[in-house]
Amino acid sequence: MNNVETLIPAVGVITDVRIDTPDIKTFRVVTTDGKKAFDHRPGQCAMLSIPGVGEAMFSITSSPTNTEYMEFSIKKCGCVTEWLHQAEVGQQITIRGPYGNPFPVDDVFVGKNLLFIAGGVGLAPLRSVINYCRHYRDRYGDIDIVYGSRSKADLLDYKEIIDEWATDAGVNVHLTIDNAQPDWDGHVGFVPNYVKELGFDTNKTAILCGPPIMIKFTLEGLISLGFDKTQVYTTLELRMKCGVGKCGRCNVGAKYVCKDGPVFRCDELEELPNEY
Amino acid sequence: MQTITRDQLIEKAVSLLADGTVSCVLGWQKGEFDYDVTPVLFKNADELKANFVWNDFCGANFSKYLVTKAEKATGKVLVFLKPCDTYSFNQLLTEHRFNREKVYAVGIPCEGMVDVAKVKAICGDGIVSIDCGEKLSVTTLYGDEPTVIDAKDVLAERCINCKSKKHVAYDELLGEEGEVIASDRFDEVAKLEAMTPDERFAFWQGELSRCIRCNACRDACPACTCEKCVFDNPKSGVENKSPANSFEEKMFHIIRAFHVAGRCTDCGECSRVCPQNIPLHLLNRKFIKDINCFYGEYQAGAEVGSRAPLVDYTTDDLEPGEVFDRRDNNA
Amino acid sequence: MRKCSLNSINSVFAEIAKAATLYLPVDGKDGSAVYTKWEEGKVWSNALNTVRSPKDFFFPQTENLMAFKTAGKNIEIIDTRSESEDFVIFGVRACDVKSFEILDRVFLSEPVDTFYAARRAHGVIVSVACTKPSETCFCGTFGINPAEPAGDISAWKTETEVFFRANTEKGVALLSKIEGLTEECTDEAVDAQKEKISAIMKKLPLKDVTTDAFGGGKTMDYFNSPAWDELSQSCLGCGTCTFVCPTCQCYDIKDFNTGKGVIRYRCWDSCMYSEFTRMAHGNNRLSQKERFRQRFMHKLVYYPENNDGLFSCVGCGRCLAKCPISMNIVKVMKKIGGENK
Amino acid sequence: MQMKEYKPLIVAFCCNWCSYAGADLAGNNRLNYPADVKIIRVPCSCRVNPMFVLRAFQRGADGVIICGCHPGDCHYTSGNYYTRRRMAALFSMLDYLGIEKERTRVEWVSAAEGAKFAATMNDFAEKVAALGENKRLEDLRCKQ
């Protein structure tokens, strides 16, 4: 914990706003003296707030290997996000964190082949992990990335995916969109079906993130391919206020998503009541 | 002491269940003690015989439950309505809040409900049993002999000032039809009106400052049936969960009472459920008294389909500036 | 053990109030007791307990966390906390003292909630043994002895005298302040009272309520029980049970725009409320049944799982007395636990 | 330090069709009324929810006045009739809670009554000023 006072945030500045898709923007945030607000691990989250509007939890999209700033890819869907989407460069916001447990990139994942599966804005939390693994490329085996969205315009970080990820050695990118469109010659169809069509070997660790319905069907698909639930990781999202497991809102079973999650292995989720 | 017995009610319910008129029964379930009863939906005769209760503590007004329960039920719901409950029943019908076709209402006479806090004030804490016979016989952990009290001495405030023993809605009536009663329910309001503004302010400050904003008054109120309350809606700009200061307390209670003004039947549930014993009915009664005084006598729920006074007008209504004179002259 | 006569208790209060703010249960206008700041003329209530629990002292219903000043694109964060002052809470019952331990485990676990911790450090608790438990009391279910309350100082009140015993350093310090007003005595009268209370405990109607069926690791045993439908069917979704509960600690953080700046405050929240878990993309607890279940599962299963088997209920009976529809934890424990023995 | 002269803050809800035009006329005719009267234009006096009145007090108003078309002249036929009943009930309730009744008022001002508008505001401001600051419906958080 960087802040001694858990609920009192630091002031951050938005130094860059990138329009990714019609409803997702990526914000670059540093502290007022131009530094990164705090160190984090891949998969961890931060609380961003705008005084008078509200506070909300967002996953940190940029990789921990980036020591200069943090990035947040945020989809417009509620009060806080709507306000953020109107914000310009130079706007100050408040930031506190990091919260939650990271993906086990330094132990469990080491030496494994990794399969990232994301849908829509679900790529946001995975981007941090993907870039971390690309940075320490020799620690991990093959990397496969399956990513799908509604349309080509809705693919998050499209440029980065095509220019950087797809050109890396040992990284295979598989993109798909829900409906065919004229300037798209890639795969068309939903992510769960695409995963089954691609038919991955089970010698991989899968990392899943996307809308709940996509997670449900993709997980079923992976299991039909022979994957075990202990091989699949995902990250949850619930309403949070404190971020430190005290306010009680993200409580599912005996776990608090903000403190014990947001990263869960799928067999751990089985032990939780279906309330997420 | 109620004139109608538990057995009579069970018999009625069982026969209606048996002939298929109704599929379930909204009734009072006995609790841990003789005075704590919970409204539940009984599904069959066995459940009724085992757990149904009818005594001097069955105060809960069932009308509001019809909004959610009637819709979900497969057949008709049997509901027992005390006279005051029938007013809420009509008011909800007026507002199209439940389907009348799905409900079979049985009117039951009521001799007034007992306030357990008043019983405790007389008999002390640690009530082990209360026998609701001719008189209440209360056994406590600390007294050797049961204390016998007259139910009339421990009636809930709303029952002391009962406004009507007449059922204004039912499919079937058990017992005798009662009459509308000339009650003294506005006396307390008039007493407050006669005070100086400073005294009134001090009185309400003292009462409302106890509010913990549990929303029980709102959630129990048969007139408060909005799908989403303005106080729960973050976009309303007034959403607030806590009585952060004396303004928030007053705001909540003024608006709560205002939102039901003209629709409040004066069933008294708000005051019954308040954990802090705030006399919330005095706010509602003030509106009722004012409406009666300014726009003519009106009893919400007396009939189905009547137009509530605050969504109605005449071209020669009195001006807002004149209300104080009118009140003072009528007092 | 020290004692003073009940007649002279006001001078003890006066002495305590010299150095710290003193709160104690005083009968309110409506006849129920309320923790009130002591001043000359305030009388210690004879009521068994207050309607509101004393959790307010450490975890107030509303508390300002910070303020913001905004100018153009800039934000300034202002720490609005003032130095807490010492205070004494007098007359806390055994159940409520236990509730502080339950709250401590939430707020004082890492990362420590400094707002709570500051209050906790400044507060001294003087507990008092119960002499006449109510029918709604079931503290015994949770292993609490109402005749032997914890706290910095334990007190016992008889018809004529009040006995004190310091349990902690804070307690010793406070007791030394009233040394001149009290005298050393034997345990005899207190022991006699304890015996009397333990006899009453055996007669309480809820003495047989048991937690045997509950505890950590039982989530899946009860989560899908059909009994939840029945139990929650008439729940109004109000927050009475949560707000009178001494152990409920869920909170909300909200912003209030004063027109001149923004105040960020925290206030009690209730898992019984429909928007408790509502977020931009939906709600994971859509019906009252799910919210109702959350409250009791949290107290009886989730909390003990994370806290060495300690239940998040102290049997104070407030929810039994105050629920508008008389649905409460005892009925839940009997129903859910009874079916799964 | 010299005490600043106390000037009450008045919030005036004015209906778009009559009273707001009336205020305009008062201005065009150079009629004086207190600068501390803050006008909020509403489509019809009936748009004024009781919550608006309370919120105005919360945010520091010392008096709240609602101005609409004369009864019978409502642009929407009957809006001001509802206002009349609603505000009668609300004002009576505020008085019941001990809030000074002089702090609230409803006045009908037509587009042609610039003089009435100015006179009403002067009179209302004077009455409110006599009461002093609004203490009974204030929100201290908004006063710092």
What is the per-residue pLDDT across B222-242, written as a single tens digit (0 to 9) for each? 999 998 899 988 888 788 788
pLDDT on residue A168: 83
The answer to whether the Cβ–Cβ distance between C251 and A54 falls below 8 Å is: no
pLDDT on residue A1: 37
- Nearest chain C residue to A275 by CA: give it: C284
The answer to whether the Cβ–Cβ distance between C233 and B275 falls below 8 Å is: no
D10-131 in CATH: which number?
3.40.50
Residues counted in chain B: 331
Same domain, B192 and B287: yes
Is B125:C205 a contact under the CB 8 Å cutoff? no
The residues near B182 (Cβ < 8 Å, ≥ 6 apart) are none
Chains in contact with A via at least 3 Cβ–Cβ pairs below 8 Å: C
Q: Cis ω on the peptide bond leading into residue A98 (within 30° of 0)?
A: yes
Q: Using a CB-CB distance cutoff of 8 angstroms, which residues of chain C are in contact with residue B276?
A: 30, 32, 51-52
B202 confidence band (pLDDT: 50, 70, 90)? very high
Encode A185-251 in three state secondary structure.
CCEECCHHHHHHHHCCCCCEEEEEECCHHHHHHHHHHHHHCCCCHHHEEEECCCCCCCCCCCCCCCE
Same domain, B49 and B105: yes
* B198 at interface of D, judged by CB pairs closer than 8 A: yes
Same domain, B233 and B284: yes
Same domain, B129 and B165: no
* A51 at interface of C, judged by CB pairs closer than 8 A: yes
Q: Give yes or no for residue A122 having a pLDDT over 50.
A: yes
* B4 at interface of D, judged by CB pairs closer than 8 A: no
pLDDT on residue C340: 57
Q: Cis ω on the peptide bond leading into residue C111 (within 30° of 0)?
A: yes
Task: Select from C223, C262, C266 the Cβ nearest to the Cβ of A273.
Answer: C223
The kind and range of the H/E element at C163 are strand C161-166
Mean pLDDT of the A165-191 span: 89
Which of C245, C326, C334 to mutate to test binding with chain B, by most B CBs within 10 Å of its CB?
C326
Same domain, B135 and B242: no
Q: Judge residue C333's burial from the number of C-beta atoms within 10 Å of its C-beta, 0-12 exposed, 13-18 middle, 19 or more buried.
A: buried
- Nearest chain D residue to B255 by CA: give it: D51
Same domain, B100 and B195: no
User: Kindly report the CA angle at C265 between C259 and C266, in degrees rounded to 5?
Assistant: 155
The answer for D 43-72 residues in CB contact with C (under 8 A) is 59-60
Domain that holds residue B312: 187-330
Is C323:C209 a contact under the CB 8 Å cutoff? no
Is C178:C17 a contact under the CB 8 Å cutoff? no
pLDDT in tens, C203-227: 999 999 999 999 988 888 899 999 9
Task: Select from A79, A246, A273 the Cβ nearest to the Cβ of C113.
Answer: A246
Which ipTM did the prediction report? 0.91
The answer to whether the Cβ–Cβ distance between C259 and D60 falls below 8 Å is: yes
Is B261:D89 a contact under the CB 8 Å cutoff? yes
Same domain, B194 and B242: yes
pLDDT in tens, D114-140: 999 999 999 999 999 999 999 899 888
Same domain, B44 and B103: yes
Q: Using a CB-CB distance cutoff of 8 angstroms, which residues of chain D are in contact with residue C263?
A: 141
* D130 at interface of B, judged by CB pairs closer than 8 A: no
Same domain, B166 and B314: no
What DSSP string runs through B226-295? -SS-GGG-GGGS---SS--SHHHHHHHHHHHHHHTTTT-----HHHHH-TT---THHHHHHHHHHHHHHH
The answer to whether the Cβ–Cβ distance between A51 and C70 falls below 8 Å is: yes
- Alpha-carbon distance of B65 to D88, in angstroms, equals 33
pLDDT in tens, B240-273: 788 888 899 999 999 999 999 999 999 999 999 9
Is B243:C265 a contact under the CB 8 Å cutoff? no
- Nearest chain D residue to B284 by CA: give it: D93
Structure tokens at D100: 């000074």
pLDDT in tens, A74-105: 999 888 999 999 999 999 999 998 999 999 99
Q: Give yes or no for residue B327 having a pLDDT over 80.
A: no
Q: Using a CB-CB distance cutoff of 8 angstroms, which residues of chain C are in contact with residue B267?
A: none
The answer to whether the Cβ–Cβ distance between C263 and D142 falls below 8 Å is: no
D3 confidence band (pLDDT: 50, 70, 90)? low
Same domain, B242 and B313: yes
A2 confidence band (pLDDT: 50, 70, 90)? very low
The answer to whether the Cβ–Cβ distance between D98 and B315 falls below 8 Å is: no
Same domain, B233 and B276: yes
Q: What is the mean pLDDT of chain A?
A: 89
Could you give the C-alpha distances from C90 to A203, C247, C287, in angstroms and in order? 65, 19, 41
Domains and CATH numbers, chain A: 10-99 (2.40.30.10), 113-235 (3.40.50.80)
Residue B101 covered by a domain:
yes
The residues near A193 (Cβ < 8 Å, ≥ 6 apart) are A221
- Alpha-carbon distance of C106 to C307, in angstroms, equals 9
Residues counted in chain D: 144
Distance from CA of C68 to the nearest CA of D (A): 13
Encode chain D in three state secondary structure.
CCCCCCCCCEEEEEECCCHHHHHHHHHHCCCCCCCCEEEEEECCHHHCCHHHHHHHHHCCCCEEEEEECCCCCCCCCCHHHHHHHHHHHHHHHHHHCCCCHHHEEEEECCCCCHHHHHHHHHHHHHHHHHHCCCCCCCCHHHCC
Q: In total, how many domains does chain B have?
A: 3
Residue B54 covered by a domain:
yes
End-to-end CA separation in angstroms for chain A: 26
Q: What is the mean pLDDT of chain B?
A: 91
The answer to whether the Cβ–Cβ distance between B128 and C239 falls below 8 Å is: no
pLDDT on residue B172: 94
Residue B286 covered by a domain:
yes
DSSP B133: S
* A135 at interface of C, judged by CB pairs closer than 8 A: no
* C78 at interface of D, judged by CB pairs closer than 8 A: no
The answer to whether the Cβ–Cβ distance between B32 and C324 falls below 8 Å is: no
Cβ count near A66 (within 10 Å): 17
Residue B181 covered by a domain:
no
Task: Select from D59, D60, D141 the Cβ nearest to the Cβ of C263.
Answer: D141
The answer to whether the Cβ–Cβ distance between B313 and D85 falls below 8 Å is: yes
Which of D53, D81, D96, D101 to mutate to test binding with chain B, by most B CBs within 10 Å of its CB?
D96
Same domain, B194 and B311: yes
pLDDT on residue B331: 46
Q: Which residue's structure tokens are 């953020």?
A: A84
* B318 at interface of D, judged by CB pairs closer than 8 A: yes
Question: CA-based Rg of chain A, rounded to a whole angstrom?
Answer: 18
Distance from CA of B270 to the nearest CA of D (A): 18
Structure tokens at A147: 């990513």
- Alpha-carbon distance of C221 to A253, in angstroms, equals 12
A3 confidence band (pLDDT: 50, 70, 90)? very low
- Alpha-carbon distance of D132 to C341, in angstroms, equals 68
The answer to whether the Cβ–Cβ distance between B323 and D91 falls below 8 Å is: yes
Query: From first to last of its 341 residues, what are the pLDDT tens digits of chain C?
Result: 899 999 999 999 999 999 899 999 999 888 889 999 999 999 999 999 999 999 999 999 999 999 999 998 999 999 888 877 899 999 999 999 999 999 999 999 988 998 999 999 999 999 999 999 999 999 999 999 999 999 999 999 999 999 999 999 999 999 999 989 999 999 999 999 999 999 999 999 999 999 999 998 888 889 999 999 999 999 999 999 999 999 999 999 999 988 889 999 999 999 999 889 888 878 888 899 999 999 999 999 999 999 999 999 999 999 999 999 999 999 999 999 886 55
Interchain contact C/D (3 or more Cβ pairs less than 8 Å) = yes
Which of C58, C253, C290 to mutate to test binding with chain A, by most A CBs within 10 Å of its CB?
C253
